[in-house]
Structure 1
Amino acid sequence: MLTVDQAWEQICQTVTPREPQLRELPVAAGHVLAEDVVSAVDSPPFDKALMDGYAVRFADLADVPVDLRVVEEVTAGRTPQKPVGPGEATRIMTGAPLPDGADVVVRIEDTAFDDDSGQVTITVAPGESGANLARRGSAMRAGEPVLTAGRVLRAPEIGLLAELGQAQVPVRPCPEIAVLATGDELVPYSQDPGEGQIRNSNEPMLAVQIAQAGATARPLGIARDNRDDLLAAVRTGLESDILCLSGGVSAGKLDLVPSVLEEAGVREVFHKVAVKPGKPLWFGVLDAERTPDGRPRFIFGLPGNPVSSMVCFELFVRMAVRRLQGDPGTSPCSLPAAIVEPFQTRGDRRTFLPVRLSVTAGGLEAIPVPWQGSFDLRATVNADGLLDVPPGDQEFHIGDSVHVIPFGQRFG
């Protein structure tokens, strides 16, 4: 049986990044940038006013109030035609280029203009030269790296790329993940279960985790515990980049998933990991030469118990998503924290416990959430992440340092 670290290593060796694709800028949001971006322009492209007012020489403001002759008005989009000399001012609007000779903008509220004389009285002077204006290139310079590969494209990144004039951007597309629950005992979560039945809670839970990981969920419903039904559903799921099955991977009579995946041409990479919860985890690959588009598919058989399924997604499936999108990380992003309540654990497997996290002045604090086992989904509602506990009998005291994996981290 693999250790958790060995399972992570196997996933990293198996899953390689998707080839970059050019996407139009408006639809690139949410994808991962595939190449570094270098600015081709200065920003701002010229010295500009940051507010409405008057562009003047700071030297003329030694004694206020002071009267200055207005030589020109410059609005945004226009270019100044006259320099500002001693005793002169230019009326200027927000975003307009600064005229030569001016080195400060006085806000309109600190002035009074006289129509008859064409003069402006400066009543309050800015505290320093350069006030209320932005110098050319102060935000970025041509040739300066501004975005690095691996960054998720959010609204700020899209805006910056638009400023740089990049109508298309190379990205690693968001993977599609098919979700298939297995078992005769399952009914759709919208239905009332009969005797011996339970609702399919894993499908909507995994769909949310998939979205948080930056992928697109493709729910396939429920496959019953017979080979034909399961094989047909698996083949549909193999159209997606990743197929996540929940249930059917243990050692029971009707745990058909491993053998059905083999029948579908999927190659097993590993089965079972020394982890709690989630020991029956299965991982395999449909090699590229077996797919119509020449891209491999990656398959995870998650345990059916809901907490096991949730934890295995956070620990293992999320890593595969990150690898497809070019993240070089070899393990989930964990953070140091301090225990604030004493507790004990027992067992020969590395355990990931639901934990509540709190940010304090002293750093991150962790409080283990009482839970009854891998069926106890309710307990996870009070958790913000997973507490990583080494195998063996462990006793933790207040203030002990531990590592936690916050829920929902896309990239660390």
Structure 2
Amino acid sequence: MFTVEQALDAIIAEVAAPVAARVPLGESLGLVLAEDIDSDVDTPPFDKALMDGYAVRAADVTSGRAELRFLEEVMAGQVPTRAVEPGWATRIMTGAPLPAGADAVVRVEDTQFRDSKEPAVVAIDGAPVTVGQSIMRQGTSTQRGQRVLNSGTPLRPQEIGTLAESGRDQVAVYHRPRVAILATGDELVPVNEIPQPGQIRNSNESMLAAQIQRAGGEPVPLGIARDERANLRERIEAGLACDLLLLSGGVSAGKLDLVPSELQAAGVRQVFHKVRVKPGKPLWFGVSERSKKDANPIHKGCYVFGLPGNPVSSMVCCEIFVRTALRRLLGIEPQRPLAVSARLEHEYRHQGNRPTYHPAQMESSLTGRTVSIVSWQGSSDLRATTAANGMVCFPAGEAVYSAGTVMDVYPW
């Protein structure tokens, strides 16, 4: 039986390095950049006003008071036609280019425009004006040729805006993996049906699809496979066309736990079966090599996870193990689950013969992170996890953890 670390090592070793593909910029959110990006322009591309007001020479308004002759008006998108000379001012709008000769902008609230004179006069009454006031110089944010984003950067809205600013309407990213999800079991019914005696709703499919989507993958639900070899075999073959295949249920040692043998029959090579972890001990992982008939496969194979059927077991295994494979395929670092430290809010007694990932609620404050253990009845108690935002990892054994003990917490 593998330890958690051995299982993570095996997954990282088996899953191929990510492959880049070019996509429209609008489809890149949540993906990982697969190229270095240099700016092709200065940002801003000219000295610009940061507020509505008047472009002036600071030397004309050192006391904060002055009467300057009105020169012209420049809106955003326009170009000044006249230079600002001593004793003159140009009305300017936010984002407009600064006219030659000006070196500051006085905000409009500190001015009064008097057009009864010829030429019109701008009366200024405010604080002393300094060189550079309320303007942004060309290239202050970014200079042409400067590296703005590195390969391996996850693309959030601000990175996408930076790419647009750099003139990229398409970008090289790591492919978003397609993840087939197949629930198994005669007891399962679709979520829109009322369960009859002995039946339960197929909640795992919806839960796993949401986890995969949140982790950056593209879920491909395959419905329910019955505990019958022909039906299971047909669904497995369909799932192997994706980058990952998740099967929920059928991986323990029961009479109808057919998943391992059917995966073997489908040519999937087992890497490990069973992990020293709670919940999730029956976890199965293997690899199906791509057929040579496949036309230019993006990945070398399909990576297959047999998850336990109990919902919290499936959820925990997806967070720890499946998500590691997804991070590998997406080019995200670190690939392993990353814990944060938090102080235990209350004393807690734990016992178990395997490391246990227990649902917990973590909170942050000015004094640091604290974590409270959620009341949980085991791997079938999915509702309890709705009160949690992470998992505390308790080592195997029996111990009493006092309030204030620093624990490893894996956020959801």
TM-score by length of 1: 0.95
Instruction: Write out aligned runs for 1:28-47 (5 A).
Output: 28-47=28-47
Residue 31 of structure 1: how far off its partner (Å): 2.1
1:60 is matched with which residue?
A: 60
1:149 is matched with which residue?
A: 151
2:89 is matched with which residue?
A: 89
1:113 is matched with which residue?
A: 113
1:11 is matched with which residue?
A: 11
Contact 1:80–1:99 under 8 Å retained in 2? yes
Contact 1:114–1:120 under 8 Å retained in 2? yes
- Aligned to 2:140, which of 130, 138, 141? 138
Residue 32 of structure 1: how far off its partner (Å): 1.8
1:246-304 Cα offsets, whole Å, 9 max, x none, are 00000111100011011111111111000000000001111134672443111110000
Is the counterpart of residue 336 in structure 1 residue 338 in structure 2? no
Contact 2:62–2:128 under 8 Å retained in 1? no
- Aligned to 1:282, which of 281, 284, 289? 284
Is the counterpart of residue 323 in structure 1 residue 328 in structure 2? yes
Q: Which amino acid aligns with 1:11?
A: I
2:27 is matched with which residue?
A: 27
User: How far apart, in 2, do the equivalents of 1:48 and 1:336 lie?
Assistant: 46
Q: Which amino acid aligns with 2:350?
A: T
1:185-236 Cα offsets, whole Å, 9 max, x none, are 1111211111111111111111111111111111111100011000000111
Contact 1:32–1:174 under 8 Å retained in 2? no
User: How far apart, in 2, do the equivalents of 1:153 and 1:101 lie?
Assistant: 41
User: How far apart, in 1, do the equivalents of 2:290 and 2:151 lie?
Assistant: 25
1:43-89 Cα offsets, whole Å, 9 max, x none, are 10111011221100111112343111122322222222322222111
Contact 1:8–1:330 under 8 Å retained in 2? no
Residue 239 of structure 1: how far off its partner (Å): 1.5
Is the counterpart of residue 390 in structure 1 residue 395 in structure 2? yes
User: How far apart, in 2, do the equivalents of 1:167 and 1:368 lie?
Assistant: 47
Stretch of structure 1 that moved more, 243-252 or 280-289? 280-289
Contact 1:247–1:303 under 8 Å retained in 2? yes
User: How far apart, in 1, do the equivalents of 2:346 and 2:131 lie?
Assistant: 56
- Aligned to 2:409, which of 390, 404, 408? 404
Aligned-residue CA RMSD (Å): 1.5
User: How far apart, in 2, do the equivalents of 1:386 and 1:26 lie?
Assistant: 34
User: How far apart, in 2, do the equivalents of 1:272 and 1:89 lie?
Assistant: 77
Secondary structure, counterpart of 1:32 in structure 2: coil
Instruction: Write out aligned runs for 1:178-197 (5 A).
Output: 178-197=180-199
Q: Which amino acid aligns with 1:269?
A: V
- Aligned to 1:299, which of 280, 304, 307? 304
Structure 2 residues not aligned, in runs of 5+: none
Q: How many pairs are equivalent?
A: 407
User: How far apart, in 2, do the equivalents of 1:233 and 1:290 lie?
Assistant: 21
Residue 389 of structure 1: how far off its partner (Å): 1.4
1:150-191 Cα offsets, whole Å, 9 max, x none, are 333232222211111112100112211111000111111211
Q: Which amino acid aligns with 2:272?
A: F
1:64–1:381 distance in 2 versus 1, CA, 3 Å: closer
Residue 120 of structure 1: how far off its partner (Å): 0.9
- Aligned to 2:379, which of 349, 374, 379? 374
1:15-46 Cα offsets, whole Å, 9 max, x none, are 12331111122222232211222222221011
Secondary structure, counterpart of 2:352 in structure 1: coil
TM-score by length of 2: 0.95
Stretch of structure 1 that moved more, 224-233 or 89-98? 89-98
Is the counterpart of residue 71 in structure 1 residue 71 in structure 2? yes
1:150–1:394 distance in 2 versus 1, CA, 3 Å: farther
Contact 2:180–2:242 under 8 Å retained in 1? yes
Secondary structure, counterpart of 1:403 in structure 2: strand
1:50–1:330 distance in 2 versus 1, CA, 3 Å: closer
